[in-house]
Structure formats: C-alpha cells, structure tokens
Amino acid sequence: MAAHARHVLSATHSNRATVKFQRDDLLWAGGSITSPHDGEVVSLPIEADDYLVGPTILDMMTREVVRWRDLSEVLRPAGIDPQEHIAVWRYRDPDTLWPRPGQSRFRQQKPREPRIENNRKCRAPAHPFFAELASGGLPVGGGPTGFVRVRKSTTISVAEGAFRLAVAMLGGTKEAARWISTVAQAAWEADLERALELWERIGASGGELIEDYAVEALRPSSSVSQEVEREVMRQAIRWMGVDPDAEIVRPRGRQKTAAGDEGDIVRLTIAADGTVVGTFKAA
C-alpha cells in the first residue's frame, strides 16, 4: 500500500465514535484441569445455560524474551551474539491460569463484561481464573480441533473524523456504523486466523517456537480500531478517484511536512458544524 496517513486536527482528535459489532473467540477446550493451589477441578470451557467461558487461544500462548545463551542448545539460532535477546513462543502452563491463595483475580485489568445479541448484560458463569485470562460467549460451532468457537457483542471506538468521513461516503450514520462493524468483524477474524496458525506452529516445533520474521508477522500489528480507521482512509482515497495502492511521489518543490504535523497525502479538518473537509495534498 502506498504510504498515506490520516490526520485530524488536535481540537477534535480526542473525540471518538463507538460502534457495536459482533466478534468470535476460540475458547480452549482443555478438558478437566485441576488447580495446583486448592485442588479445584474445572472442566473447560465452563458452561452455564448456553453461555461458555474460559481461556481463549491467545490466553493459552505466551511470548517470552530471553537471552540467546539462556536458550537450550537445540533452540539457539546460529550466528547470534550470546547477549542478544530472542523471543520464544510456548503454550501456557495451565497452572498459571489460576491466582495463588490470597492473590487477586484482577491483577491487570477489570473483568471483561460479556454481552449477548440483544445487548442486555449477561452474567457469565463464575470461574476461578485470572480475569484477563478468560473470556466468553455463546457457542456458534465451527471451531478447530481443541477449541470451541463462541460469539459475543462488543464495541469499537474510532476517531470522530474517520467516522464522519464514513458517514459522508455511505450517506448516513446507520450505513456507516453497519459498514464499520463489518470491517471490525473481519479484522477480528483475521486475528483469529493468525492466532490459530501461530498455535499450530508452536505444536509443530515441539512446544517452543523461536520468533523469526515469519512468526512475527502472525502477531497483531495494530489495534482493530487502527485497522478500521486505515480502511476508512483507503476507501476515502478511492472515493476521490485515487488508487490507494499506487506509488505517489511528492510534488517537486513541496517540502516534507514535519513528522506528526499532518498526513503526507490527506489532511482532514472538521468544521464547527461537524462537516468533514478533506484535502488531497498530492494533487
């Protein structure tokens, strides 16, 4: 894709638009596991009525950065400085899903708030895991071996300028929200596909996978919000009759803009009445 960027003036940059959409997760179907701390036996995923909860595929993988010399000899890449740091992917030890006695379940963030199709709040089944290492949803089928696919409603927050630009292109807020939700859902699904490939590579490597360029490409490169905003800008550039994948050369005589000042190709401003004005700078 050609190098193009978005820019919204700082006066409006803090405003965000929230759009609802549905996304899928893959819950680990790990069978019955026993807590190493209190002996509690839990069958995964945990079920209450039609709702399932448990660690996801991403929860069950860990990435650790270690020094080359601390790796086992069979894992050490050739030609690397012994002081160099290497990233290694492994399957999570199920014992680390649980808090130790007296340790809070909410060590990193607030518990996830599950939602279902009619947008009413749903009380998830009680579970003993760290809050950030368990998610849930309604089973929809079609999960790969070792996992259960579930679906839940959630939201995405996008820059106001990007949302208004989508409204202008699509003719209304409902149409823009519907399109953005579709893009967000596709971005989440792409993340799941990459996560599944990463999971399979860890298994094929015997449980320890050195992160090279190919493995690094399987990690999410940006947030779903960024992916959606990038797609809005690509559509906007097409809307102006320009191929976003074309190589665009800066016009002769125009100096390069200072980093962080504005986009290289498109500049967006929002007028007092909420109107979005876009200027194509490469013309």
The long-range contacts involving 225-231, CB below 8 angstroms and separated by at least 24 positions, are 225/156, 225/157, 225/158, 227/183, 227/184, 227/187, 228/156, 228/158, 228/162, 228/180, 228/183, 228/184, 228/187, 229/6, 229/158, 229/159, 229/162, 230/6, 231/183
172, pLDDT greater than 80: yes
Q: What is the pLDDT of residues 84-94, one digit of tens each?
A: 778 889 999 99
- Domain ranges, ordered by start, for the chain: 10-245+261-280
The overall average pLDDT reported for the chain is 78
Q: What single-letter amino acid sits at 175?
A: E
* pLDDT at residue 72 in the model: 72
* pLDDT at residue 28 in the model: 95
d(CA 166, CA 233): 9
Q: What is the pLDDT of residues 140-155, one digit of tens each?
A: 988 899 999 999 988 9
166 with 176: CB under 8 angstroms? yes
* pLDDT at residue 134 in the model: 87
Q: In terms of DSSP H, where are the helices of the chain?
A: 10-13, 160-170, 173-204, 213-216, 224-239
Mean pLDDT, range 163-182, rounded to an integer? 91
253, pLDDT greater than 70: no
Mean pLDDT, range 245-250, rounded to an integer? 67
Residue 64's pLDDT band (cuts 50, 70, 90)? confident
* pLDDT at residue 283 in the model: 47
121, pLDDT greater than 50: no
Q: Pick the more confident residue, 94 or 37.
A: 94
Global model pTM greater than 0.95: no
* pLDDT at residue 3 in the model: 29
Q: Which residues pair with 81 in a beta bridge?
A: none
Q: String of b and e for 211-234 (b: at least 16 CB within 10 Å)?
A: beeebeebeeeeebbebbbbbbbb
